[in-house]
Structure 1
């Protein structure tokens, strides 16, 4: 199925395991059963990506959209049907793979965007993970980074944090992570950069050097030992991230924090206390966001807000799969995975309206707004304060938001837009 638009041709390099990524050279098409964060160095060299498994919210789809390269996922048999070094063309817009070179390659993310800048009250943020893209994307018509993923930078470090702690190399881990995050904070300053603390799952942690010693093999890592639960149970590891955040903020106050996969109110309360004890408390230049991606976040949204968060960001990828009970990486269920499902829409509306009424900002950082323009219009109607999308969707999302605001704008909103523009 289509996962990232564009057309590109190149020789197929079939990678069965992350240990084989060095076989992928500049200009190759990466073909794999599935990708994980440790595939990223090869993904950056590839002109296109094809996978056997996954849907449009899987790792390969998300990273391809960020890198601006074509991607087709959920083919079920690409690693078996395609031959090593076979010249193929990947059409990421149509979700098709052809033999031979059949069309000119489309460019990656443009260096410049010729369109005139549009003013909107609803902010447009971008989802990013690759430090090399920071400067280029920061020059676009974007209000900040609504989702800065830590996982790809940690994958580049390549070693399990607990393995590094055991060797007395905590400072090295902090230094390397701070270097990557500083790149984003500097490029976007003074616009906010919302750093999502690590959301590696156990299978992804196991792929790091030393990981097998510290991680269990879980039947279902998506519902396993991840997110906020890990932080409160492994405080020594989480404090490495806290140290990095504090260090970067010494120079760049535009770095904010977002906590992923929060299951219970008590869990969040404990984490907020930990951050406050470390000097990270809400202020004019520091905001703490919580991702809304577990159904409990919807049912108890008021109670989560009471704990003391400044904003929410809806992780529509995980929220949709948990509301609908659909594995978002299963190609056989790809057609049923739809954020526009009535149950999901009810959840989105409740989260946004409740948050805004409580004076808490509401954002969304899943793939849905990048894919469904009509959903973005609904989000604006419900009062969402920002929408965070992949780099390829920045300008179109701004246009969709401007049209939606134009249809529903009251005179007071137009005055706010005028003040923003002045």
Structure 2
């Protein structure tokens, strides 16, 4: 970095040392760029440009005057003043030299669609966390529109939630700045995911790549079954390739600025049958994956895309579902009805229940094998009753695969014709570890040894990680000292309604009673052993999906680091009080219930909670 305060800098000019000037997002983009990771190119409008704008537009005193009488606990007043401040910022004229520098940088990166993101930062407040409070603008195109979007990001620094947070934390509004990374949006010809270890078996010697043509979100939705490539990490050679037929692809609709409008395009027969990326691209991508794993010193879950023959890394994060050892492989000698991708290990048998639509999930009873084209969140209640899951479409990162691993039940995805070949009531056996479906009932001896309670004494407590009431009695019989993490999310999802909506309808006590009933299932089964309950850590997109949630939740670019956990409790006090009332109700009968507060960003935040 140069010593003078540049208003526009390129990713390769910054490092993690420049966080006060370019924010955490900008610094991370710089780190990855300088590490040789091919992130989509871009530049950062620095916090210095924002402070210069506030000074030259003479906004400091005007904003201060608006904020002085504000009571942030008066929600109506907070919203009104936030809108007034934002209007001041968006209607003020940006200094011509700053606007010109932004336009010139956009032209230099060859224009096209870009994402304009916010990254708040404060040099004197290292303990501050501003994640999820500011705006993001996607699919922006044209010099003038980029300048307007940057100014929109500046204005979002005074959104209602951001003002509330700073006031509650005792931060001075004018000590907090905002940097704005502007990054090219990849118009992916092919896209997918990469795991630097095998995700189903946790085999650290293999690297796995899944690929589709078009946009990558089709993989998670399970709308198509991706190609699957396995690579030996030691010599970076391809071990195996599974090429899957893809009938259509998703692409960004031209001109859909600021919207997530995607369109389906049918593929030709030649395109449907082709390998999604070349062998050379598979090897190149695998090498990038190994570089990422080495850079972050941990196995990575990577999202990637290709454009004009070049590979870009869109996102990388640590893999959180690793197992120390894989379960034993089962050699079953029986008639194979179907083969697909092994998505969740284990062997289970039961009667087939074909569910063509989530409106028919009630037909799935405990111990049935759920068979569907693919699953969505609406299938979850039935998935929790199923002994195993089989789907026509999807890969190892599709919804069915992720939820099955969470539930600990076998799953085979991408079988293509499961709903056509299998019949309701037919007895089948599902081998999720090998991706096979067999005719009839096959019982396989488990390689898991379950000890009786008290058989082994340890100085360290052995505590379970639980969320599903359906398995609590089984786990409670095992040699564990209690529950170290009882997650609220399954119970809240079962209630199915946004708590704020229930409060608005005068049904807050109903929420309390239902949550208390769910908690009691666990405390009763484990009493007197401790049960540590992690209060609800739903993210804004998950809250929004609940009945009535649309009214109470805003869209966030990255809900994972947004409005959640402790920061939510101190601003949405009414909902948190319902949860505390449920905890209090349970403790009147079961004194083994403990509480954990999730996603605490600062000590002050915890004190307020």
Aligned mate of 1:196, from 531, 534, 546: 534
Structure number with higher strand proportion: 2
Contact residue 34 and residue 54 of structure 1 kept, 8 A: no
Aligned CA distance change for structure 1 residues 200 and 107 (closer, same or farther; 3 Å): farther
Aligned CA distance change for structure 1 residues 22 and 84 (closer, same or farther; 3 Å): farther
- Give 1:53 shift: 5.2
Matched, 1:64 2:407: yes
SS class of match (1:146):
strand
Instruction: Please list the CA deviations of residues 148-174 of structure 1 after superposition, one character each: whole Å capped at 9, or x if unmatched.
Output: 111111122121111111110111110
Question: Which residue is 1:44 aligned to?
Answer: 384
Matched, 1:86 2:427: no
Aligned CA distance change for structure 1 residues 191 and 217 (closer, same or farther; 3 Å): same
Question: Which residue is 1:211 aligned to?
Answer: 549
Instruction: Please list the CA deviations of residues 278-310 of structure 1 after superposition, one character each: whole Å capped at 9, or x if unmatched.
Output: xxxxxxxxxxxxxxxxxxxxxxxxxxxxxxxxx
- Give 1:5 shift: 3.2
Matched, 1:7 2:347: yes
Aligned mate of 1:237, from 571, 575, 579: 575
Contact residue 535 and residue 595 of structure 2 kept, 8 A: yes
TM-score by length of 1: 0.53
- Give 1:7 shift: 1.4
For 1:116 and 1:183, locate their aligned partners in 2 and report how far apart those are by CA, in whole Å. Answer: 23
Report the RMSD for the aligned CA atoms in angstroms: 3.5
For 1:165 and 1:219, locate their aligned partners in 2 and report how far apart those are by CA, in whole Å. Answer: 27
For 1:54 and 1:222, locate their aligned partners in 2 and report how far apart those are by CA, in whole Å. Answer: 21
Structure number with higher helix proportion: 1
Aligned mate of 2:488, from 140, 150, 153: 150
Q: How does 1:390-405 map to 2 (within 5 A)?
A: none
Moved over 6 A (4+): 107-112
SS class of match (1:209):
coil
Structure 1: 5+ residue runs without aligned partners? 272-422
TM-score by length of 2: 0.38
Instruction: Tell which deviates more after alignment, 214-223 or 252-261.
Output: 214-223
Question: Which residue is 1:260 aligned to?
Answer: 598
Aligned CA distance change for structure 1 residues 232 and 108 (closer, same or farther; 3 Å): farther
Q: How many residues align?
A: 260
SS class of match (2:485):
strand
Contact residue 117 and residue 141 of structure 1 kept, 8 A: yes
Question: Which residue is 1:137 aligned to?
Answer: 475
Instruction: Please list the CA deviations of residues 370-406 of structure 1 after superposition, one character each: whole Å capped at 9, or x if unmatched.
Output: xxxxxxxxxxxxxxxxxxxxxxxxxxxxxxxxxxxxx
SS class of match (1:225):
coil
For 1:209 and 1:106, locate their aligned partners in 2 and report how far apart those are by CA, in whole Å. Answer: 41
For 2:449 and 2:509, locate their aligned partners in 1 and report how far apart those are by CA, in whole Å. Answer: 35
Aligned CA distance change for structure 1 residues 105 and 161 (closer, same or farther; 3 Å): farther
For 1:150 and 1:108, locate their aligned partners in 2 and report how far apart those are by CA, in whole Å. Answer: 30
Matched, 1:186 2:527: no
Aligned CA distance change for structure 1 residues 107 and 132 (closer, same or farther; 3 Å): farther
SS class of match (1:251):
coil
- Give 1:60 shift: 0.9
| Larger Rg computed on CA atoms | 2
- Give 1:93 shift: 2.8
